[in-house]
Amino acid sequence: MTLDRRGFLVATVLAGTAGAVPFLGAEPEPIRLTLTTETGGTGLRYRVLLENPASAAAPVRSVQVFALGERQPLLASFDIDPEAPRAEMSGPLDLGREQNVMALVRLDDGTMLHARSHVSAASG
């Protein structure tokens, strides 16, 4: 089999890129988002934990917490420092019934992440 000049160039480029490593190294570690609801001495609370927001491909811009069964579902809204290696938010929950609580994270590039937790009003 003979290769013309173009075929040789294409084969060389394909062979050279087959084992190529990205210039910037490995992909950034993904953001881990955890939403928990807790009962304690002060009643029912939510807790949102973000790990690795600073090392993500796009920094975290904001976090909103919603109680999906309420007339006004927005419980809290937070702006996050893009340099923070970890962010933790918590607050009280005063729910009238059993429902889902959701944390929504907006990254700088427009990507959205979410976590959900089911809460019983009797828990508080």
Mean pLDDT of 31-53: 72
Confidence of residue 49 (pLDDT cuts 50, 70, 90): confident
* 60 vs 26: which has the higher pLDDT: 60
Domain 25-123 sits in CATH 2.60.40.2470: yes
Distances (CA, A) of 104 to 2, 40, 114: 58, 24, 5
Give tens-digit pLDDT for 54-96. Answer: 556 677 888 899 888 888 889 999 998 877 777 888 888 887 7
SS3 content of the chain, % helix, strand, coil (to 5): 15, 45, 40
Is pTM beyond 0.75 here?
no
Place of tokens 């029912």: 44
